[in-house]
């Protein structure tokens, strides 16, 4: 079920997202994993478009979570970059996330996590991990999808 794909441009991401969301139901946790600039937010935006969400997905500057309800199923997009740069411990990290009520969001829809892989087991033992790596020279992206149970 796990797979590895190569992406050379943004259109290919949209094509992948369209196919990927076909099998998505509520209670899906998706972790986007990769360094700064890998294309995590771009990927989140493509998944949102594929779910029929009208609003544009952006990286929140101050808020760490944004809920989108205009699509086929509700989507909560969490970008924890601000937290991990400020939090000193796992507990502090979890405290910051608590306000977002991830459990309810997961029950009702899809939650996309960016910069949360360090506490992935605590947040969602059952999850889909999408690992994105970008080749510095060719700019080609390698995307690996892993289903964790
Ligand atoms: N598949 C892709 N092909 C071409 N450019 C991409 C692709 N994915 C992302 N980018 C570009 O890379 C930059 C960083 O993407 P972003 O999604 O913000 O990264 P991250 O959220 O991982 O830090 C953006 O300018 C985006 O347009
Ligand atoms: Mg981002």
112 in contact with ligand 1, CB cutoff 6 A: no
Taking the model in full, what pTM does it have? 0.94
In angstroms, the CA 54 to CA 50 distance is: 10
Whether 63 has a pLDDT exceeding 90, the answer reads no
Domains of the chain: 3-148 (3.40.50.300)
Report the nearest atom of ligand 1 relative to the CA of 35: 22
pLDDT digit string (tens) for 70-98? 999 999 999 999 888 887 888 888 888 88
What's the gap in Å between 80 CA and the centre of ligand 2? 9
| Ligand 1 centroid, distance to 143 Cα (angstroms) | 12
The predicted-structure confidence for 20-31, as pLDDT tens digits, reads as follows: 999 899 999 999
Residue 28 sits at the vertex; the CA angle it makes with 99 and 44, to the nearest 5 degrees, is 80
pLDDT at 60 over 90: no
CB 48 within 8 A of CB 57: yes
- Whether the per-residue pLDDT at 61 is higher than 70: the answer is no
Helix 40-50 / helix 10-21 crossing angle, nearest 10 deg: 50
What's the DSSP call for residue 59?
A: -
């Amino acid at each position: 079920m796990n797979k590895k794909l190569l992406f050379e441009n943004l259109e290919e991401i949209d094509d992948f997202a369209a196919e990927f969301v076909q099998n998505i139901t509520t209670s899906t946790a998706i972790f986007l994993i990769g360094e700064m600039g890998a294309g995590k937010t771009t990927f989140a935006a493509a998944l949102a478009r594929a779910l029929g969400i009208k609003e544009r997905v952006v990286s929140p500057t101050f808020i760490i979570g944004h809920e989108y309800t205009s699509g086929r199923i509700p989507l909560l997009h969490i970008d924890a970059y601000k937290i991990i740069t400020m939090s000193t411990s796992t507990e502090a990290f979890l405290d910051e996330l608590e306000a977002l009520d991830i459990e309810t969001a997961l029950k009702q829809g899809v939650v996309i996590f960016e910069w949360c892989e360090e506490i992935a087991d605590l947040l969602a033992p059952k999850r889909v991990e999408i690992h994105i790596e970008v080749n510095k020279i060719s700019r080609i992206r390698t995307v690996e999808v892993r289903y964790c149970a």
